[in-house]
Structure 1
């Protein structure tokens, strides 16, 4: 049995665009996790990971509160704790999948 590799021709396209730091980080998250590692992520997971990458190490409750404001925009005070808990739940799932790592004291991401 002989295996032969087919060659394919690729046209190189060079295009320059301006992106924000957030868009650049989001692109890197998508490329490394979805394309290379074949992880299945929902859009809010991608947003959360992008914020974590940009904001650096941060205390979990502060991150959840700030991320809820970014993800959900203006909201009623009674909705805020529910939205922040949604973010915390997503972070917990990402941690279980070994995508996010908490510090040793379990307070910082």
Structure 2
């Protein structure tokens, strides 16, 4: 089996590791992990995965970390700010496991060209 990440670039969670495997298995280019998106030198967000050259961010939202209203409000405000900066933000959730993330992969393939 191909190595999916370097020892210093491991996904933070098992869910993120599964998501990365799924993206690569579908022929998508390897995303940058924890890419720092800044505005005027100030950190705006550090999405789980990003394709900076296409301004596409992918975040994995587990119900565990996004279950409270406050957590949801903070997350949505950050996403709105990213959208305002010209980024496309795609979200994977625990529910994506049901269809293997098919819709997420389709959306990413429209936004990110295949690896050569």
Structure that is richer in helix per residue: 1
More strand by share: 2
Query: TM-score, normalization: structure 1?
Result: 0.36
Please tell me whether Structure 1 or Structure 2 has the larger radius of gyration of its CA atoms.
1
